Amino acid sequence: MGNSNYLSATNQFNLYGGGAGQGYDITGSNGSIASGFYRSQIGNAAAKWESSITSNIGIDGSFFNNKLEVVVDLWQKDTKDLLYPLTLPGVVGVRSSAPYKNVASMSNKGIDILVTNRGTLSGDLTYEVTGIASFLSNKITAIDPSVPYFTAGGTRLSTNVVRNQPGYALSSFYGYKVIGLFNSKEEVAAAPTQDGAAPGRFRYADTNGDGKINDDDRQFLGNPIPKFTGSITLTLKYKGFDLNTNLYASLGNKIFNNQRWFTDFYPSFTGAAVSGRVKDSWLPTHTNTTVPIFESASNFSTNTQANSYYVENGSYARMQYLNLGYTFPAVVLNKVNLSRLRLSVSATNLFTITKYSGLDPGVGGSADQNFGIDVGNYPVQRGYNVGLSFGF
Amino acid sequence: MKTFITKGTVATAMLVMVTFACQDKFLDVPATGQLSGTQLTSKAGLDGLLIGAYAQLNARGFSQSASSFNWVRGSISGGEANKGSNSGDFNALTPYQTYQILATSGEVNAKWSAMYEGIARCNSTLRLLASAGSDVTAADKARISGEARFLRAHYYFELKRNFNMVPYVDETKDYGTGIEAVPNNADIWPNIEADFKYAVTNLPESQGAVGRANKWAANAYLAKTYLYQKKYAEAKALFDQVIASGVTSDGKKYALVANFQDNFNAAKDNSSESVFAIQAAANTGSSDNANPDLVLNFPYNTGSNGPAGCCGFFAPSFELANSFRVDANGLPLLDGSYNSAANQLKTDQGIASSAAFTPDAGPVDPRLDWSVGRRGIPYLDWQVHPGLDWIRDQTFAGPYSPIKFVFYKSQDKSLTDGSSWTDGYSAINYNIIRYADVLLMAAECEVEVGSLATALSYVNQIRSRAKGTTYVKTAAGANAANYQIGLYTAFADKAAARTAVQFERKLELSGEGHRFYDLVRWGTASTVLNAFIAYESKLLPVGYTGAKFTAGKDEYQPIPQQQIDSQGKTVLTQNPGY
């Protein structure tokens, strides 16, 4: 949400358009159409700029002859009148695009810390280490009174998977909480009424305890905003050698692994359910699993609903790069008439530590309304480079 | 030097303008590539808006299931066909054959949204008509408002019979003026009637373009609206007029065409039987004008000697095909015995195309092979239906193919749109109401409040036409099957007449999206459909797993969860049972 989005100059106007796809063969010719128009956009003349108040207290310190530098920032940014095109209710006619309206307020609070320490370990061995840590808390504080919340994101499931609602973080996931798999017909019979319930299928939490699983039982299932992001950069130098590396970590976020709809359920796309997980599917003889029964049925208790089966811990740490180089000393170079010669090897994305089961926990999305939904994004590649640089 | 002075003058002039002449108006630059207000309120502009309202009849861009054709809700839920293809492909439609539709179904939301999009376009037209330009005459206004309200009534009719309780929004309600706060707590039949009555009063008999609704289409639809409410007397009075005097928009007296199958042939569109149709056209620059809703409903993997080749959807049911069995008099087996072991049609279920198969030799209604594609019978002008080779997954879909809305080989690329991924985009009109439908609806009214003799004559008109139809022939010119059809001599009593009329509707209008709604309004949905499931699920256990029709719930689709989430539970109340 926000000013950062392109707000069309026509946002204030009702627009009407047409095209071959809106025509109709009113004369019964079988081969030609009359042009048709429809309202392609609803205008909002009242849209205005968003505003935000940023407050910030910071300390910058440098100690022990610059061997230790510390930067600490406490900040809060309160934004109001966030611009957002609310999804139109069906009765309005959803072929019109919705206007941007100033609908929401949001609060971001955080602490950013940067610490650098440099010095000499022994003799010619010097080091520099920089740690960065950011703690973030995000919350939607208000939305237009005409809508209690708005939904977005996700693919192939019956509903959107994100619900943006005051009191919760932006892009919070919303759906049924899976409390296990049904293991027997008796268990199904004893459980709250649930459409499509059968052994091996999801059992959802009866949040409101009314003995019936329906839309009222949906709940917030986590959000994709990391509570903590940080990195450590280390540089070591010894004579002509230098080593440089960076470890990045993102902790405390969830990912909605939408890919599982394709890879874990037989009927989603017949023949496409190829994840290794399906080998661990529920069977009457194999009930100690979280992976549901592999079957042709597609219903409320299988693959159609946004639920916590898709929500995974998205925390990860990744070695972003590791470089090792050697610069030949001048005394050697002079003999071969070179002014500079350097050899280096480097690796990028050397390893990732995560429990996330998708291809890559670094999941993006459209930052203004829904993100952290993995619909099969490309993983980052591991790269190796060998370098030789020289000058005459 | 001269140039220099000129530049200076312009600069000075601009400065003067900026300093002294700048008004808000200066900022009002017309939006480029858009229609201006005066263009929209001209006669051409208003007509364009109306065309846009017609364009939504096929629910283009929403879902195949959302179209006014209703092949999914009307025919599949009605037991005339199953989803077809295999279990995985577009399985969001499967709940329509098992009555396990969820409020969160995207298909439910698509129907809702598509019909309200149509309504929004009608309302746009009516709103802008209020400020019509000087080139719009009083007669134009009557016609445009009449067509817009006719279409609006149609869209609400669709919403009413699919969802029952829906919010009614007219041209006075729009975005920003409380449209999202209109609750679904009122019966909208009176609103639908009012719009159709307005259309009857304001529309001309004869229209400049045959695709436009005319006075008689409005009369027929109003009568249908009465029939759905069991207002038989009002309905009968109107049907009497429609039958006596009704004409098409291009002035043809309503009549049954000679050949039953011509109702499903693009080259024979807009016949005397077409009361109101979705006009389809091929090669217009967008396949959305060419039945995008029917594009999956062709035999599977046919190669070039079959139509389109995709995707094996909408497979006629065993039960429907059996219904065409006739007795020694050429009359249908009204006692339901057509499904007995002795009477059911012989099929090639489980038989490879390479293995020998001889089609059923018993007597069948000749409409069978113009309604159901089956092994061993010529499939239009393509070839003899080869059976399994044209079926994607027989264990899921059964042995039959749809045929009614399939184009002929001779029409490929001329009356189909070759611009997209399949030739299945065709120019065949779907008749929302055709005259045979009018006669059968009128027959229902005669049974209830009129004369059984008149009902008999209406039903026999339908059967006579079927009898006189050109039958499906083998290459040698013989009838492709043992076709027998006779007329009813009399109806013994009201109950017998009702049964015969209802069964004739099933035979005549199969696969045309009517059946489910008919069963619901007759109050027989639970009995008929559960009996259907009991029979069909033995033959196709995979596709009908868990199928059960629950009375009091499954008559209507749920209000889409997305809409309740969007508008709130205080505005939209969910239907019973969901």
User: What mean pLDDT is reported for chain B?
Assistant: 94
Query: What's the rounded Cα separation, in Å, for the pair B202 and B72?
Result: 34
The answer to whether A18 contacts B113, with C-beta atoms less than 8 Å apart, is no
* pLDDT value at residue B37: 76
Residue B533 scores a pLDDT above 90: yes
Least confident of A41-45, A89-93, A246-250: A41-45
The string of DSSP codes covering A26-58 is TT--SS--B---EEEE---TT----EEEEEEEE
For testing contact with chain B, the best of A30, A32, A158, A299 (most B CBs within 10 A) = A30
The answer to whether A38 contacts B124, with C-beta atoms less than 8 Å apart, is yes
- Here the tokens at position B73 are 């809700």
Mean pLDDT of B343-349: 97
Is there a domain that residue A19 lies in?
A: no
The answer to whether B565 contacts A32, with C-beta atoms less than 8 Å apart, is no
Is there a domain that residue A358 lies in?
A: yes
Higher pLDDT, A313 or A330: A313
Is there a domain that residue A238 lies in?
A: yes
Side chain identity at residue A110, one-letter code = G
β-partners of residue A142 are A105
Distance from CA of A157 to the nearest CA of B (A): 8
Residue B6 scores a pLDDT above 50: no
* pLDDT value at residue A272: 82
The answer to whether A24 contacts B54, with C-beta atoms less than 8 Å apart, is yes
Helices and strands, counts by H and E, chain B: 18, 10
The answer to whether A91 contacts B124, with C-beta atoms less than 8 Å apart, is no
pLDDT confidence bin for A4, thresholds 50/70/90: low
pLDDT confidence bin for A49, thresholds 50/70/90: confident
Query: What's the rounded Cα separation, in Å, for the pair B30 and B24?
Result: 13
Q: Count A/B contacts: CB-CB distance under 8 Å.
A: 223
CA B45 to chain centre: 28
Mean pLDDT of B86-108: 91
Query: Chain B contacts of A31, Cβ < 8 Å?
Result: 281-284, 427
Give the CA distances from residue A28 to residues A186, B122, B428, in Å, rounded to whole numbers and listed in that order. 60, 21, 10
Distance from CA of B182 to the nearest CA of A (A): 9
Compute φ and ψ for A20, nearest 5 degrees: -60, -35
Could you count the other beta carbons within 10 Å of the beta carbon of residue A207?
13
pLDDT confidence bin for B31, thresholds 50/70/90: low
Residue in chain B closest to A13 (alpha carbons) equals: B31
Query: Chain B contacts of A20, Cβ < 8 Å?
Result: 284-286, 288-289
Residue in chain A closest to B127 (alpha carbons) equals: A39
* pLDDT value at residue A275: 87
Higher pLDDT, A268 or A364: A268
Q: ω into residue B311 within 30 of 0, thus cis?
A: yes
Helices and strands, counts by H and E, chain A: 3, 21
Least confident of A110-114, A371-375, B255-259: A371-375
Mean pLDDT of A7-30: 90
Query: Chain B contacts of A176, Cβ < 8 Å?
Result: none
Residue B16 scores a pLDDT above 50: no
Is there a domain that residue A14 lies in?
A: no
Residue A117 scores a pLDDT above 50: yes
Tell me if residue A209 falls in helix, strand or coil. Answer: coil
Burial class (CB in 10 A: 0-12, 13-18, 19+), B486: middle
pLDDT digits (tens, 9 = 90+) for B371-389: 999 999 999 999 999 999 9
Query: What's the rounded Cα separation, in Å, for the pair B96 and B81?
Result: 11
Is there a domain that residue A10 lies in?
A: no
Higher pLDDT, B34 or A107: A107
Query: Chain A contacts of B35, Cβ < 8 Å?
Result: 15-18, 37
Cα distance between the two ends of chain B: 84
Residue B142 scores a pLDDT above 50: yes
Is there a domain that residue A25 lies in?
A: no
Distance from CA of A185 to the nearest CA of B (A): 15
Where do we find the tokens 């099929």?
Answer: B347
Burial class (CB in 10 A: 0-12, 13-18, 19+), B4: exposed
- The domain tally of chain A equals 1
pLDDT digits (tens, 9 = 90+) for B197-246: 999 999 999 999 999 999 999 999 999 999 999 999 999 999 999 999 99
Mean pLDDT of B83-107: 91
Is there a domain that residue A201 lies in?
A: yes
- Least Cα distance to B566 among A94, A5, A65 occurs for A94
Tell me if residue B283 falls in helix, strand or coil. Answer: coil
Residue B353 scores a pLDDT above 80: yes
For testing contact with chain A, the best of B170, B544, B566, B567 (most A CBs within 10 A) = B566
Cβ distance A244 to A250 under 8 Å? no
User: What mean pLDDT is reported for chain A?
Assistant: 91
- Here the tokens at position A194 are 């649930």
Side chain identity at residue B336, one-letter code = G
Query: What's the rounded Cα separation, in Å, for the pair B223 and B570?
Result: 34
Mean pLDDT of B544-568: 94
pLDDT confidence bin for B3, thresholds 50/70/90: very low
* pLDDT value at residue A30: 97
Mean pLDDT of B396-402: 97
CB-nearest to A28 from B211, B284, B546 is: B211
Is there a domain that residue A28 lies in?
A: no
The answer to whether A93 contacts B119, with C-beta atoms less than 8 Å apart, is yes
pLDDT digits (tens, 9 = 90+) for B121-138: 999 999 999 999 999 999
Residue in chain B closest to A32 (alpha carbons) equals: B284
CB-nearest to B279 from A28, A38, A94 is: A28
- Least Cα distance to B300 among B375, B389, B420 occurs for B389
- A contact residues 134-173, partner B, Cβ 8 Å cutoff: 146-151, 158-160
CB-nearest to B105 from A10, A20, A158 is: A158
Q: Which residues contact B200 (CB under 8 A, 6 or more apart)?
A: B215, B218, B219, B222
Collect contacts of B204-208 with beta carbons under 8 A, ≥24 apart. B204/B143, B205/B247, B205/B251, B206/B247, B206/B249, B206/B250, B206/B251, B207/B143, B207/B249, B207/B250
- Least Cα distance to B321 among B448, B452, B506 occurs for B506
The string of DSSP codes covering B32-96 is TTS--HHHHTSHHHHHHHHHHHHHGGGTTTT-GGGSTT-IIIIIITTTSEEEES-SSTTGGGTHH
Burial class (CB in 10 A: 0-12, 13-18, 19+), B380: buried
The answer to whether B121 contacts A33, with C-beta atoms less than 8 Å apart, is no
**What is the residue range of A115's domain?**
51-391
- Least Cα distance to B49 among B157, B159, B129 occurs for B129
Question: In this complex, is the C-beta atom of A59 within 8 Å of any C-beta atom belonging to chain B?
Answer: no
Residue B8 scores a pLDDT above 50: no
* pLDDT value at residue A144: 79
